[in-house]
Amino acid sequence: MKPIVIVNFKAYEQGTGEKAQRLSQICSEFGAWVAVQPTDIRLCAPHATVLGQHVDAEGFGAHTGSVLCEAIKQAGAVGSLINHAEKKMTDEEVGTRVLRLKELGMTSIVCAENLDRAQRLKQYNPDYLALELPELIGGDISIITAQPGIVKQAVELLGKNVLLGAGVSSGADLKQALDEGAAGVLLASAIVSKTDDPQSALRELYSKI
């Protein structure tokens, strides 16, 4: 089965506007999904499988500033990240957003900062649970290296719809995640902000599977 690899462009300059469009094309060459800012969804959707980085629970109406699930769907997104460490939510807020995405037939990727939180958020039946330790996000040590056994433990507790994130950057990281039963990985800086050659970085990421 093809791994789920999600490249989060965050709000990096290298992943904004026309640069986001080009980077999404590169990611698509490898089959990676991209999570982009709402303003870049229409630019990137013709080239790759696109996720929003955040959504709100409101529907159409007087909700100035809200990011509607309907709006990102119309722009071309297939789903959204929810509760990223840089956009935290309560459990209830996560649940309302998963439900709204489900109502629209969209994919929900719920992020959790530890296994205890992930187990709580599992009750909302998101399509994927992404385990990311906040202290490792953007760093040079991956969650898989920092906590040996974390993948198997996550799969045992949460099921096979688990993604591993935080510090993930290498083909060895992706291979180990897949070998131990995870669905894939979520990463950002290794592809977006820490390299001048994202194509080569992606090639290395996929090199061992």
Q: Which residues are catalytic?
A: 84, 132
**Residue 111 corresponds to which tokens in the numbers above?**
């992020």
Q: Residue 165 carries which side chain, given as an amino acid letter?
A: G
The DSSP secondary-structure symbol of 3 reads: -
The DSSP secondary-structure symbol of 57 reads: S
Q: Residue 124 carries which side chain, given as an amino acid letter?
A: Y
Contact 97, 108 (CB under 8 A): yes
CA–CA separation, 124 vs 120, rounded Å?
8
Q: What is the sign, positive or negative, of the torsion defined by CA atoms of 23, 25, 27, 32?
A: positive
Written as one string, the DSSP assignment of 122-167 is GGG--SEEEEE-GGGTTSSS-HHHHSTTHHHHHHHHH-S-EEEESS
